[in-house]
Structure 1
């Protein structure tokens, strides 16, 4: 059994028990979150999509928070000696998928 969910502007194919790193979710470690919307559910070949999934959600448990890799952002304007260097690290949440 698997489902396709949307969170953080991205779509993920998930199965029960799977551990997944997604964009930051609000909550503490150990909290349970309901992920909506559910796009597709496949239960042993029986595929459900669209309006039939209006009330469905996927439950997940937050197992940790982390930050992504460091990115360097450099802005430059020629002929004026204008330079700016910044860094950025995105916040991520690690979740474990429960029931679909």
Structure 2
């Protein structure tokens, strides 16, 4: 069984027991969160598609908050002496999907 759910503005295909990284959620580590914006579910070949969403909830547990690897942003214009180097680390939350109901 899997579902397509919107979490923090992005859509993810999730299954029970799966761990995934999403943008930082406003929840404590170890707490339960519920995602109500489910667009599609599939169970034993039966597919339900919402217009735009279904009345299905996805429960998950927040495992930890962390930062992603550094991404280097480098801008340059040739022959002009213009060079800019910048770095960025995205804030992430690791969640484990407990139940699709």
TM-score, structure 1 as length reference: 0.84
1:1-100 correspondence to structure 2 within 5 Å:
1-51=1-51, 53-100=53-100
| Stretch moving more, 1-10 or 84-93 | 1-10
Question: In the alignment, is the contact (CA less than 8 A) between 2:39 and 2:51 conserved in 1?
Answer: no
Judged with a 3 Å threshold, the aligned counterparts in structure 2 of structure 1 residues 52 and 69 are, in CA distance, closer, same or farther, namely closer
- Matched residues in 1 for 2:52 and 2:27: separation? 29
Runs of 4+ that moved beyond 6 A: none
CA RMSD across the alignment: 1.9
| Alpha-carbon spacing, 1:52–1:88, altered in 2? closer, same or farther (3 Å) | closer
Using structure 2 for the length normalisation, give the TM-score: 0.83
Structure 1's unaligned 5+ residue stretches are none
Q: Choose between structure 1 and 2: higher strand proportion.
A: 2
